Structure 1
Amino acid sequence: MPLATPTRHSSAAHQPSWPKQHLVDEVRHRLETAHSLVTAEEVEELRVCMATVASGQATVVQLGDCAEPFIELSPEAIDRKLRFINDAADLVAGATGQAVIAVGRIAGQFAKPRSNPTETVAGQQMSTYMGDAVNGPRPTPEERQPDPLRLLRGHRLAQRATETIRQYNSTTAGRKVWTSHEALLMDYEHPQVRVEGTARYLTSTHWPWIGNRTRHLDGAHISLMAAIRNPVSCKIGPGVFPSEAKQLVRILNPGNEMGRLSLIARFGHSRIKNEFPAVVSAICNAGLEVTWMVDPLHGNTRNADDGAKARLLPDVLGEVNDFNKILRTFGLHSAGIHLEATGDYGIEECTTRIDSRRAPDSYRSLCDPRLNRTQTAEVLTAWTEGR
């Protein structure tokens, strides 16, 4: 049974401009009756896991692609990603001596909010790429036209990926890999809410998050996340007021439950020391229950000399260290880390210098720069050592 539809996206930021509304209505109807990707039992199990994280008995490692390409969802590709996620979790487990909750940006990370709805390429204006669930990455007006039928393809591929993940989890001892993605597209997420007893579950993923750009207190994204039983997370970044952060926590975790809500700091190295402490202080003084995580990538994006986006490793490491230090001053622990990262070899999307020269084929992300395998290990090591 789907959740009742809110006012037609009037308060939902960063939604595509679908060209044919009748197709959107058809897609929503088909998603309402489609197979659930995750089960209520799985969500309840993750809730227990997140409560152990909140109590300091476990940590979270959450990582994966910036934007998942549809073409990289074969069982073989998913298996490679799962092994990379578990390798990262093994590193953290070995360094901390704690259980690690392994979470992938996987099986649904198909959409991205963008700064500008359109861009000009080779003199042609076209829609900006918003992820494979919305349009295609190839820079032509036709490929970039938003197509709601892509939502159905995304669901089919996510279902196949989720089944691959379940099979993988059944062969590993103890640790599971959980799915997560940004719950951005209301026409994809809303129809996939199901009611079990008196509880509502978002069945598109185990652990949805709200992005920094869509965390409006009166917005559709916050409203949806507040209505479901899944553990949820919300990114907070530059410009968030302490009073706003408190209200956000009260809306998303009205029962003040341990493990229900994670706040993921993504301020950037240049701003975290000035802005994050006041947020932590306000939430602590109010007695609000929050699991603290860091995303040291999104606040550190720059334009490199070669014209592509870049994230500098010194900035990433600096934000990790500052995040840990700030939490320690409040007597708190850093519970988790959220990274855009890939285990693929030959990747050089994040660099050490803004003028670093990258090989022509070393930037393969469909959107923002990801850490490569070596950089991921370096960042995770710095995070564990500073906790």
Structure 2
Amino acid sequence: MSSTSSPTPGWTPSSWKSKPVAQDVEYSDSGKLSKVLSKIATLPPLVTPSEIERLRYQLSQVQRNEAFLLHAGDCAESFDACTNENISAKIGLILSFSLILIWGARLPIVRIGRIAGQYAKPRSSKMEKIGDREVLSFRGDNVNGLDIDDRTPDPERLLRAYFHSATTLNHLRGLLTSGFASLHQPRDWSLSHVRSPSLKNEFENIVEDLTDALDFSRTIGQDAGASFEHGGARSTVGEVDFYTSHEGLMLEYEQALTRECPVPKSVSTAPNQKGYYNTSAHFLWIGDRTRQIDGGHVEYFRGIRNPIGIKVGPSMKSDELIRLLDIVNPDKISGRVTLISRYGAGKVENYLPDHIKVVKASGHPVIWVCDPMHGNTLTSSTGLKTRHFRTIISELTSCIRIHSECDSRLGGVSLEFTGELNDEGFSVTECLGGSMELSEEQLGLRYQSFCDPRLNFEQSLDVAFLISNHYKNERRGKKKELEKDVLFTELSGSTGK
């Protein structure tokens, strides 16, 4: 490949414009939009090609069952939520969740946050009715405002989205390189406000065991702060790799941050090789509403080198899924595609087995991730959008079982959760159930989401322990089976003498 050639035949960062674009935003001032996009195109990249390639390598490990993927964060970020407290709480929850998974599964965790760019929101209708007024639907802070008098799409919001993403990333990187992620202080990750005694006890047990392990390592001369390389990650006990993601919905914005860059030599297959990277995030995904085979989003995604996600729901036909994989990953590159299934607890049995079967037959390397949130949304009797913890767990456990039955493996989980607290230090109340047994009457107490309902800190840890215990039991089962095999071999050998 020459240094100037496009990595994908017939593709350019703007070739998506020749295709129909679902969920497109109509701006009244095209000149202002062009000016804003031109400015964004000159701004520094938010992430680097080397970070993107490192993530793709780690995702290939997930695909080989050598790691587990945690994809989590807000349904949609808001500019107002870009605060030290909110960012720290979100990262603290992700770190707590991943620590529980590591302890049970004994696998490295690849952490991808829905953060530093998840500002856009797809909608099923262009208009919505609020009271006696019909207004343009709220499309997220990078398009228009939540206030009903601020619904006109404004290009300047794209520029604000860039700077809020940069600010979030700057704080995130500062946290992760200043000891916030240290395994010596996991109690600092906002666990103090958890009201469930059983959750606190379970987490404290892990922390105590971990502290003993680290003390033992120090005693025998292993420096717990020494750098090591594991699973493609460059980290210490005090640092972790952390990646950002968002739905690649606003194609004008994504194009403005798409840069042709030299491919890092560690992964380059030719001298002076270049590729197109979307530098707005490490990982982007195509939503269930924008995955049309002949659409602009699929056209755009097929040309970038970033690892990508594809939402797979009940409306996805098996042959359509394979055609889609053929388009976005024709060379069947490992770590390139993550399939994020979101069927709903009542439909997962009807669709997931066939989807697994056809993908296995196609030879496409994919990571299967369960999103148990989006197919299980309901409206409470009080009119609030919510989800029940019971159905979330039902879809998740069904996914684990179905993959096992189909000789496949669930490689990760995609969750909408938050570590946010209100002024009194309480978790949000947006989803029903969980260890705190949140009821409908309690939903309105601390309902803070302007988008979809999120699991709170306690409910998120409930999920973490469920997954962790599953893999812990699986690991113990394999050990017992191995012991049985060894014993059987020994007995067979002794009787044969």
Task: Give me the whole-angstrom Cα distance separating, in 2, the residues matched to 1:115 and 1:354.
Answer: 29
Task: Give me the whole-angstrom Cα distance separating, in 1, the residues matched to 2:456 and 2:27.
Answer: 35
Quote how far apart the aligned CAs of 1:4 are: 3.9
1:206-233 Cα shifts (integer Å, max 9, x gaps): 1111111111111111111111111111
Equivalent residue for 1:144?
151
Equivalence map 1:215-254=2 (5 Å): 215-254=291-330
Secondary structure, aligned partner of 2:369: strand
Change over 3 Å in CA distance of 1:183–1:7 after alignment to 2: closer
Contact 1:54-1:291 at 8 Å conserved across structures: yes
Task: Give me the whole-angstrom Cα distance separating, in 2, the residues matched to 1:10 and 1:218.
Answer: 7
Equivalence map 1:96-107=2 (5 Å): 96-107=105-116
Identity of aligned residues (%): 31
Q: TM-score, normalised by structure 2?
A: 0.74
- The question of 1:307 aligning with 2:383 is answered yes
1:3-51 Cα shifts (integer Å, max 9, x gaps): 5423547511112222211111112111111111001111111111111
Deviates more, 1:151-160 or 1:173-182: 173-182
Q: What is the alpha-carbon root mean square deviation over aligned residues?
A: 1.9
The gaps in structure 2 that reach 5 residues or longer are 7-11, 182-237, 263-273, 421-425, 472-497
The gaps in structure 1 that reach 5 residues or longer are none
- The question of 1:170 aligning with 2:173 is answered no
Contact 2:356-2:408 at 8 Å conserved across structures: no
1:224-271 Cα shifts (integer Å, max 9, x gaps): 111111111111101211111111112222221221110000000111
- The question of 1:56 aligning with 2:65 is answered yes
Equivalent residue for 1:369?
453
- The question of 1:43 aligning with 2:52 is answered yes
- The question of 1:339 aligning with 2:415 is answered yes
Q: TM-score, normalised by structure 1?
A: 0.95
Q: Letter of the aligned partner of 2:168 in structure 1?
A: A
Task: Give me the whole-angstrom Cα distance separating, in 1, the residues matched to 2:302 and 2:385.
Answer: 34
Count of aligned pairs: 385
Change over 3 Å in CA distance of 1:182–1:7 after alignment to 2: closer
Among 82, 86, 98, which residue is 1:89 paired with? 98
Contact 1:321-1:382 at 8 Å conserved across structures: no
Task: Give me the whole-angstrom Cα distance separating, in 1, the residues matched to 2:79 and 2:406.
Answer: 43
Equivalence map 1:195-214=2 (5 Å): 195-197=260-262, 198-214=274-290
Quote how far apart the aligned CAs of 1:80 are: 2.3
Secondary structure, aligned partner of 1:35: coil
Q: Letter of the aligned partner of 1:147 in structure 2?
A: D
Q: Letter of the aligned partner of 1:334 in structure 2?
A: L
Task: Give me the whole-angstrom Cα distance separating, in 2, the residues matched to 1:355 and 1:80.
Answer: 24
Quote how far apart the aligned CAs of 1:76 are: 3.9
Task: Give me the whole-angstrom Cα distance separating, in 2, the residues matched to 1:381 and 1:203.
Answer: 34
Task: Give me the whole-angstrom Cα distance separating, in 2, the residues matched to 1:128 and 1:9.
Answer: 26
1:340-361 Cα shifts (integer Å, max 9, x gaps): 0011233111113997212534
Change over 3 Å in CA distance of 1:176–1:279 after alignment to 2: same
Contact 2:68-2:107 at 8 Å conserved across structures: yes
Task: Give me the whole-angstrom Cα distance separating, in 2, the residues matched to 1:241 and 1:210.
Answer: 16
- The question of 1:194 aligning with 2:201 is answered no
Change over 3 Å in CA distance of 1:91–1:373 after alignment to 2: same
Equivalent residue for 2:167?
160
Among 117, 122, 127, which residue is 1:108 paired with? 117
Deviates more, 1:171-180 or 1:153-162: 171-180
Task: Give me the whole-angstrom Cα distance separating, in 2, the residues matched to 1:115 and 1:383.
Answer: 32
Q: Letter of the aligned partner of 1:189 in structure 2?
A: E
1:58-110 Cα shifts (integer Å, max 9, x gaps): 10111111110101113443222211111111111111111101111100000
1:110-151 Cα shifts (integer Å, max 9, x gaps): 01101111111121111111110011112x2x3111111100
Task: Give me the whole-angstrom Cα distance separating, in 2, the residues matched to 1:68 and 1:290.
Answer: 28
Task: Give me the whole-angstrom Cα distance separating, in 2, the residues matched to 1:382 and 1:220.
Answer: 39
Contact 1:268-1:299 at 8 Å conserved across structures: yes
